[in-house]
Amino acid sequence: MIERTIFIENAEQLITLKGLSGKPATFEKMSSLSVIESGAILIENGIIVDVGTTEDLRHKYSSKIEEAECIDASGKIVLPGFVDPHTHIVYKGSRENEFNMRLNGATYMEIMNAGGGIHSTTSKTREATEEELFTESMNRLNKFLLHGVTTIEAKSGYGMDWDTEYKQLKVAKRLNEEHPIDVVSTFMGAHAVPKEYKEKPDVYVELVINEMLPKVAAEKLAEFNDVFCERGVFTPEQTRLILEAGKKYGLIAKIHADEIEPYEGAELAAEVGAISADHLLKASENGIKAMAEKGVVGVLLPGTAFFLMTEAANGRKMIDLGLPVAISTDCNPGSSPTVSTHLIMNLACLHMGLTPAEVITAATINAAHAINRANEVGSLEVGKKADILIANVPNYMQLQYHFGMNHTDTVIKAGEIVVQ
Ligand code: NIG
Ligand code: FE
């Protein structure tokens, strides 16, 4: 954080998302963006000091503004920096060969069960040095920043042995320290059953529970504990054991749930009190209702469905059932190699039935709720971190209307201009 005063003024729309930090937004609250026309925002030393109309703030702070660095946002909108609550950015290599196999008819699970998929990235990640992993992941973060993302979650899970999981978590920690984007860590030792344990998956579950989780907790390497609960990967019972064990160490539960087949992952998320359940393409209505009742955030990943050529999760129905919904890139080398929150927003409208206003909430404050950061980011309110995106469109609907375009104009992270 630096000592500096910044005044942004004349925004066509200043999207504050005021009043949604207490709990995740549901139903019509997902459309309550609290837009200020001709908006302005005053930032001091990395923190939002005031938000209002340009006229009011110019009047109230005239002498401060004389000294401040002023940014004219005429013709543009100002909104919270995007929060991406589900990524696998710390990995080595790429999987375009599998992309080609899928174009020729192979499915994602067939490729994985034949030893490719997550296993292929795991081999490369195991071989990589910490420095190589750091450099590759740093490059990805740079691209995220250019798309207006200011906070990101990053999972381990391409090690599935302690040394590599540890290496990934250390890289995530360093990225958080050295890159402007805040990186929030999730341990995902249970991303797949590693090849060495193919015939004895329960032994691997025990390894995660008895050896990996205690080490993650002892070094405070992660805040969340995630499991890929899917037929052929981890069963709901194994998932429950891993998540309950994590909770004893203070790790908050997350689940990759009901992505490929219905498997009662949504129900399990509600039962274990997960902060989020992610994917949910095949989640049951009862599961969604149970999540809604417990306030579990549904993190939807429209880019993954798009890239795997499957029907996207029914986000419209989920919101209508009362589920708080967030969206994310799911950036990873197999099922969603993208850094574009902008494209994800387009897809959330076009393939999931969300409205442009709901999409903004899903990519900001609800995404912050999904990673326990809603008290500091995800909305533009007094006292919050000045994580701000200025987008080169005159209204927020144009963000979703143009597709495949990056509308980022300026990014401010903790009060510092990091993209201009
Ligand atoms: O969220 N579904 C499981 N995990 C990732 C994909 C990981 C990979 O294919 O490398 C996901 O889509
Ligand atoms: Fe994922």
**Ligand 1 center to residue 215 CA distance, Å?**
24
Residue 82 to residue 328: CA distance in whole angstroms:
10
The amino acid at residue 138 is M
Is the separation of the CB atoms in 374 and 33 below 8 Å? Answer: no
396 is in an annotated binding site: no
279 is in an annotated binding site: no
| Segments of the chain with pLDDT less than 50 | none
Residue 89 to residue 314: CA distance in whole angstroms:
26
In the numeric block, the tokens 């990996």 are attached to 212
Is the distance from the beta carbon of residue 98 to the nearest atom of ligand 1 less than 6 Å?
no
Residues 6 or more apart from 59 whose CB is under 8 A from it? Answer: none
Residue 322 zone, left/alpha/beta (φ > 0; ψ -120 to 50; rest): left
Burial class of residue 87, CB neighbours in 10 A (0-12, 13-18, 19+): buried
Is the distance from the beta carbon of residue 24 to the nearest atom of ligand 1 less than 6 Å?
no
The amino acid at residue 272 is V
Residue 93 to residue 192: CA distance in whole angstroms:
18
Q: C-alpha distances in angstroms, 28 versus 128, 291, 319, 321, 357? A: 47, 18, 9, 11, 10
All residues with CB under 5 Å from ion ligand 2? 330
**Ligand 1 center to residue 241 CA distance, Å?**
21
263 is in an annotated binding site: no
pTM equals 0.98
Residues pairing with 255 in the sheet: 227, 277
Residue 329 to residue 280: CA distance in whole angstroms:
14
How many Å separate Cα 56 from the centre of its chain?
35
pLDDT score of 133: 98
**Ligand 1 center to residue 108 CA distance, Å?**
9
- Ligand number nearest CA of 192 is 1
ipTM: 0.97
Atom of ligand 1 nearest to the CA of 86: 1
Nearest CA to ligand 1 atom 3: 228
Is the distance from the beta carbon of residue 400 to the nearest atom of ligand 1 less than 6 Å?
no
Is the distance from the beta carbon of residue 328 to the nearest atom of ligand 1 less than 6 Å?
no
Q: Residue 178 has which token pair?
A: 């050295």
Q: C-alpha distances in angstroms, 214 versus 170, 242, 249, 379? A: 16, 12, 7, 35
Nearest CA to ligand 1 atom 6: 335
pLDDT score of 2: 54
**Ligand 1 center to residue 409 CA distance, Å?**
31
Residues 217, 173, 197: CA angle, nearest 5 degrees = 55
Atom of ligand 1 nearest to the CA of 158: 10
Q: Residue 34 has which token pair?
A: 């609290």
